């Protein structure tokens, strides 16, 4: 059953139960950010089509206040001049408490609403923010005669947003997904990291170190493990998105040169259930494409389990490991993702 634009335009009563979701599964392993007002970056966009799942014209943070109009117009120009083929076009609009957001939406929807797949809304605090964007999009789409609804993606980057995560996911049938916004979230929570995402060398857990006879002190080097600062929020986001049938994403990793740590952070997010991450530099596109695609070995194993389990019930032993009805479901997740990426 597919939904018509009418379903998206029908405003939801506040507090109404979320309708079943049919957000199309489209690969979005890397959401590559560019500033459409930066001529050097903008010039590279056409050549990136087909090499990345999502190109996102960023209008919010990292664009100077005096350049907001230029970036917005740059996005209109690029979208009109470019055939995006299989690559999705997203934008990150300015926050709802800024002086720029109304012009962002009232310009972009009539001008390039036919090309825009998703609008990413920053600093979402609760369902009311999504209701506002939803209603405005519906009005602008109706006025422009658009038949394909623009979807909405919320960045989780305030403590209040995290507390209201369920209602945000359920706020509109347009909801496509959520991203973690670790930099703003760290500031809002008064965390003591100044990094943009990723780990922190001070966030450690110690394990009892093996002591040899006569040793009186632990060897901290041997017995310390860095923990993931973002584990709690990502896990919460994954559960909320799974419950509401939308997609969870890790956000930005600011240390462009540290490709190893970036890959580690993306992989943790992938293993926990995220479908993609942001890319702030072309090098991160390669990392995200690799990490958020299941490995050939994992897919082969999953197919083997599914085949061995026949009708999917009961239990079998494969390579000394017990597989049962639940393992089949896990394996189906892996195979479905592989098929979706191969399509
Ligand atoms: C992203 O917008 C962040 O604040 O991390
Ligand atoms: Mg932010």
Looking at all shown ligands, the one closest to residue 123's CA atom is 2
Q: Are strands 224-226 and 204-206 parallel, antiparallel or unpaired?
A: antiparallel
Q: How far is the CA of 123 from the centre of ligand 2 (A)?
A: 7
Mean pLDDT of the chain: 91
Q: Which ligand is nearest to the CA of 58?
A: 1
Picking from 141, 144, 139, 168, the residue whose alpha carbon sits closest to that of residue 156 is 168
**Does 184 contact ligand 1 (Cβ within 6 A)?**
yes
Q: Is the ipTM of this complex over 0.95?
A: yes
Q: Residue 120: CB within 6 Å of ligand 1?
A: no
Q: For residue 184, report the distance from its CA to the centre of ligand 2, in Å.
A: 5
Distance between CA atoms of 321 and 328, rounded to whole angstroms?
13
> Where is average pLDDT lowest: 24-28, 64-68, 335-339?
24-28
**pLDDT for res 85:** 95
* Model pTM score: 0.91
Expressed in angstroms and rounded, the spacing between residue 342 Cα and the centre of ligand 2 is 32
pLDDT at 197 over 60: yes
Q: Could you tell me the pLDDT band of residue 216, with boundaries at 50, 70 and 90?
A: low
| Pocket probe mutation, ligand 1, options 63, 90, 185, 279, max atoms within 8 Å of Cβ | 185
pLDDT digits (tens, 9 = 90+) for 131-188: 999 999 999 999 999 999 999 999 999 999 999 999 999 999 999 999 999 999 999 9
Ligand 1 atom with minimal separation from the 92 CA: 2
- For ligand 1, whether the C-beta of 31 sits within 6 Å is no
Cross-strand partners of 160:
none
Enumerate residues 6+ apart whose C-beta is below 8 A from 224: 204, 205, 206, 207
Distance, in Å, from the CA atom of 94 to the CA atom of 122, rounded to the nearest integer, reads: 7
Closest residue by Cα to residue 72 from 101, 52, 96, 31: 101
Give the Cα separation of 273 and 50 in Å (integer).
25
- pLDDT digit string (tens) for 36-78? 999 999 999 999 999 999 999 999 999 999 999 999 999 999 9
Convert the pLDDT of each residue in 244-295 to its tens digit: 999 999 999 999 999 999 999 999 999 999 999 999 999 999 999 999 999 9
* CA angle 186–191–197, rounded 5-degree value: 40
Cβ neighbours of residue 243 under 8 Å, at least 6 residues apart? 166, 169
Residues 176, 246: contact at Cβ < 8 Å? yes
> Is residue 156 a contact partner of residue 13, using CB atoms and an 8 Å limit?
no
| CA distance linking residue 161 with residue 182, whole number of Å | 12
**C-alpha distances in Å from residue 180, one per residue of 14, 176, 241:** 25, 14, 12
CA of 157 to the centre of ligand 2 (A): 6
Least distant ligand from the CA of 183: 1
- The CA distance from 260 to 264, in Å, is 6
The verdict on the CB of residue 161 being under 6 Å from ligand 1 is no
CB atoms within 10 A of CB 317: 9
Q: Is the Cβ atom of 156 under 6 angstroms away from ligand 1?
A: no
Closest by CA to 75, choosing from 35, 124, 19, is 35
Distance, CA 170 to ligand 2 centroid (Å)? Answer: 22
Instruction: Name the residue with the closest Cα to ligand 1, atom 2.
Output: 181
Who's near 193: CB < 8 A, 6+ residues apart? 186, 200, 203, 229
Q: Which atom of ligand 1 is nearest to the CA of 278?
A: 1
Q: With a 6 A CB cut-off, is 251 part of the ligand 1 pocket?
A: yes
- For residues 289 and 211, the model is more confident at 289
Q: Is the CB of 183 inside a 6 Å radius of any atom of ligand 1?
A: yes
**Total H helices, total E strands in the chain:** 14, 12
Alpha carbons 282 and 55: distance in angstroms, whole number: 11
Whole-number Å distance between alpha carbons of 18 and 24: 17
Cα 343 from Cα 333, distance rounded (Å): 15
């Amino acid at each position: 059953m597919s939904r018509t634009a009418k379903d998206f335009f029908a405003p939801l009563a506040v507090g109404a139960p979320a309708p079943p979701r049919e957000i199309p599964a489209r690969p979005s392993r890397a959401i590559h950010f560019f500033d459409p007002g930066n001529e050097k970056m903008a010039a590279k966009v056409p050549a990136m089509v087909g090499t990345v799942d999502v190109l996102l014209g960023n209008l919010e943070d990292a664009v100077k206040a005096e350049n907001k109009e230029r970036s917005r117009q740059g996005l209109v120009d690029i979208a009109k001049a470019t055939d995006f083929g299989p690559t999705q076009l997203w934008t990150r609009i300015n926050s709802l408490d800024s002086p720029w957001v109304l012009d962002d939406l009232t310009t972009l929807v009539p001008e390039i609403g036919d090309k825009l797949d998703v609008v990413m809304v920053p600093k979402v605090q609760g369902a009311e923010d999504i209701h506002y964007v939803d209603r405005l999009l519906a009005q602008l789409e109706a006025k422009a005669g658009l038949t394909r609804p623009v979807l909405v993606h919320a960045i989780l980057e305030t403590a209040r947003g995290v507390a209201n995560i369920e209602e945000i996911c359920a706020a509109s049938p347009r909801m496509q997904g959520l991203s973690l916004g670790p930099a703003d979230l760290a500031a809002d929570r008064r965390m003591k990291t100044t990094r943009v995402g990723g780990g922190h060398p001070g966030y450690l857990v110690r394990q009892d170190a093996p002591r040899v006879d006569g040793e009186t002190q632990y060897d901290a080097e041997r017995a310390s493990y860095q923990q993931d600062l973002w584990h709690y929020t990502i896990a919460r986001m994954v559960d909320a998105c799974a419950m509401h049938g939308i997609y969870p994403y890790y956000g930005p990793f600011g240390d462009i040169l540290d490709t190893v740590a970036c890959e580690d952070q993306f992989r943790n997010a992938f293993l926990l259930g995220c479908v993609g991450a942001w890319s702030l530099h072309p090098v991160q596109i390669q990392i995200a494409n690799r990490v958020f695609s299941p490995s050939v070995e994992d897919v082969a194993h999953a197919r083997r389990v599914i085949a061995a389990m026949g009708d999917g019930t009961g239990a079998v032993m494969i390579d000394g490991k017990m597989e049962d009805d639940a393992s089949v479901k896990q394996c189906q997740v892996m195979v479905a993702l592989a098929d979706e990426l191969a399509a």
